[in-house]
């Protein structure tokens, strides 16, 4: 994962995290694995459940980075491992690439509209770079 994040950064991709896990905990995990530096922003859920649905987290992230113009989203893609990622991204017309490592149901992610399903980091890179 680190190699892919570094490669995407080197190629000029802007990387963000939008997670339904608590933001504070997510930052602690990213810091622990020295991964925070690869992301421009990290957005997550709150402990008080005011922001817990994927759609709420994505809206929060878009507001944080002042991405108001839908045209700016044209080069945006969500990488996800659950149906919530696919459907949350769809709320903003953001395509989602499903990864097979993680927690989600692959068939359900496909049924909900994932534009691609990848099994490896190399496949993920190719799907992003198309």
Burial state string for 35-63 with b = 16 or more CB within 10 A and e = fewer than 16: beebbeebbbbeeeeebbebbbbbbbbbe
Kind and range of the H or E run holding 96: strand 96-99
Identify the CATH number of the domain in which residue 65 sits.
3.40.50.1000
Average pLDDT rounded to a whole number, residues 106-126: 95
Give the model's pLDDT for residue 67. Answer: 64
Q: Which domain holds residue 91?
A: 2-129
Kind and range of the H or E run holding 104: none
Number of domains in the chain: 1
pTM of full prediction above 0.75: yes
Give the model's pLDDT for residue 123. Answer: 97
CA Rg value for the chain: 14
Whether 81 contacts 104, CB under 8 Å: yes
């Amino acid at each position: 994962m680190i190699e892919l994040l570094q490669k995407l950064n080197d190629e000029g991709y802007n990387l963000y995290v939008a997670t339904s896990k608590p933001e504070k905990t997510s930052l602690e995990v990213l810091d622990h694995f020295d991964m925070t530096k690869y992301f421009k922003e990290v957005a997550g859920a709150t402990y008080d459940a005011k922001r817990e649905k994927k759609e709420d987290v994505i809206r929060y992230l878009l507001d944080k980075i002042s991405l108001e113009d839908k045209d700016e989203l044209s080069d945006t893609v969500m990488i996800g491992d659950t149906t919530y990622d696919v459907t949350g991204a769809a709320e903003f017309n953001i395509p989602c690439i499903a990864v097979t490592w993680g927690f989600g149901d692959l068939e359900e992610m496909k049924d909900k509209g994932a534009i691609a399903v990848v099994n490896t980091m190399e496949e993920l890179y190719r799907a992003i770079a198309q």
